[in-house]
Amino acid sequence: MLFSKRIRPFITLSSTSNATTNINKNTKTYKTRVDERGGANPTWGDKFVLPFEQFVVNERYPGVYLQLYTKHLLMGRTQLGWCLIPSADIVSRFSPVGSVHFLSYRLRAKDGSRGHGVWSMLRSS
């Protein structure tokens, strides 16, 4: 079936929102692999080491912009949702070394309204 309704999700992480990424070409974007089997509940297990400076000294809202996409065979990608992970949630001076934190964020629709889905991750210090 060429035009399947099955989603093939992947995530991008960057220090700028999608709207400003085209303006700032120096921004590095990190990308997970496409989850071919996860469907509506994708799992990646990818690990990223993000440069602290890039994500803390950022525009108006410092943090990591997470964008969820689905990959189409012929039409490229379609954004399914996004969220901002604040820098303060990622870097905590008060967490003991070796501690693990479970973080969850509601995904937003393209226009910023409340979307469908939740992004969950583990952060270790």
> 2 in a domain, yes or no?
no
Q: Which domain holds residue 42?
A: 9-17+26-124
Please report whether residue 3 resides in a domain: no
* Global pTM value: 0.78
pLDDT of the residue at 107? 94
Q: What is the pLDDT of residues 50-78, one digit of tens each?
A: 776 666 655 566 788 899 999 987 888 99
Number of domains present in the structure of the chain:
1
Query: Regarding beta strands 114-124 and 9-14, do their DSSP bridges make them parallel or antiparallel, or are they unpaired?
Result: unpaired
1 found inside a domain: no
Q: Is residue 37 part of a domain?
A: yes
Q: pLDDT for 10-44, tens place per residue?
A: 999 987 765 544 555 667 888 999 998 877 788 88
